[in-house]
Each structure stands twice: as C-alpha cells, then as structure tokens.
Amino acid sequence: MPAPRRFRNIAGLGPVEVGTAHDHRGRTKHTAACTAPRCGFSAEYDTRSAAELAARTHRCPAH
C-alpha cells in the first residue's frame, strides 16, 4: 500500500480544492478535487495553473 500524499499549498476555489504534492517518483503534481458530497471529481495535473483552471471551470452536478 503506497504512503499517503502530503499536500501543501492548498487553496479552495468554490467547492474545489487545489493542492500540491509529490508523486511516488518524486515529481511535483497538482491535484484539483471537489469537496461536495456525491460529486467525485478529481484530476491530477503537471502545472498549478492547469489545476486552478480546472477548479474554476468545474460545474458540480451535486452542488
């Protein structure tokens, strides 16, 4: 079982949170995840700006 990621630099953009962490190979990855119940949206990006764009344009079906 892989070790849990330790996110840093977490920002909330509406119901979506964007965080930065290192993957299992040591590369920096940026994750956007919706915190609304029953939504299930999450995606991983190579750049912070791409993750923030996804967070701003996400239309939550559960919200």
Per-domain boundaries in the chain: 8-57
pLDDT of 63: 65
Range 5-31 average pLDDT:
90
The average pLDDT across 18-34 equals 93
Does the pLDDT value for residue 1 go beyond 70? Answer: no
Query: Where do we find the tokens 């919706």?
Result: 34
Q: For residue 4, is pLDDT > 90?
A: no
Type of residue numbered 14:
G
Position 18 pLDDT exceeds 80:
yes
What strands, in cross-sheet order, belong to the sheet with 28-34? 8-13, 16-22, 28-34, 42-45
Total-model pTM: 0.84
Share the mean pLDDT of the chain: 90
